[in-house]
Amino acid sequence: MKAIHLLLKIAKIKEDIAMAKARKVAKQAADTLKFQGQVMNYAKEYENQILEGGKIGTKVAFLQDADAFRAKLLESSRAMDKQVNDLQLGSKSIMEEAMKAKMKSEGLSKLVDKDMRNEQKKKEKSEEIQFEDLLSARSSGQTGTNNA
pLDDT tens sequence across 52-108: 877 787 787 877 888 888 899 889 888 888 888 888 888 888 888 889 988 999 998
Domain boundaries, given as residue ranges, for the chain: 3-110
State the virtual CA torsion across 82, 83, 88, 93 in degrees, nearest 10: 100
pTM: 0.62
Q: Are 17 and 105 in contact (CB under 8 A)?
A: no
